[in-house]
Amino acid sequence: MTLQSSTWLARLEQAGGARYIRAMRHGSMELELYAPRGVDLQQPHARDELYFVVSGQGQFECDGQITPFAAGDALFVPAFAAHRFFDFSADFATWVVFYGPTGGEAA
C-alpha cells in the first residue's frame, strides 16, 4: 500500500479545522497525518510513537530534551513521555505512527 502525503494533506485541509487524520490501522499500528497550526496541544500518549516529518521545520521537545527538526527527519517518543513541537513553520506536517501495547514496548 502506498500513502501519498499530498493526498492526505488535502484530505486534512478538507476536514474542517482538524489537525490530524487517520490514514490507516493494522493490528496495533495506527498511521495518522498530523499538522498542528500555531501551537501543538498534544498530551502524552499511552503507546510508543514515531514521527516522520513531511514538511516544515522547528523545534521538538521530548522529556525536556530539545531537538531541531526538518523535513525528512524521524523522531521517537516512548509511551507516556511529555512531548511537543514548537517554533515550527506554517507548513509543518508529520506522519505519526502509534504502535505496540499500552505502556510501550520493553527497551
User: Which residue(s) pair with 99 in the sheet?
Assistant: 48
Q: What is the reported pLDDT for 22?
A: 92
Distance between CA 20 and CA 92 in Å, rounded?
12
Q: List per-residue pLDDT tens for the chain, 107 residues long.
A: 788 988 888 888 888 878 999 999 999 999 999 999 999 999 999 999 999 999 999 999 999 999 999 999 999 999 999 999 999 999 999 999 999 999 999 76
CB half-sphere exposure, 62, CA atoms < 13 A? 16
Q: What is the reported pLDDT for 49?
A: 97
Q: What is the reported pLDDT for 95?
A: 96
Q: What is the reported pLDDT for 17?
A: 79
Residue type, 70: A
Return the domain boundaries, the chain.
5-99
Considering the entire predicted model, what is its pTM? 0.92
Q: What is the reported pLDDT for 88?
A: 98
* Residues 33/36/40/43 CA torsion (nearest 10 deg): -30
Domain with residues 5-99, CATH architecture? Sandwich (2.60)
Q: What is the reported pLDDT for 53?
A: 98
The single-letter DSSP state of residue 38 is: S
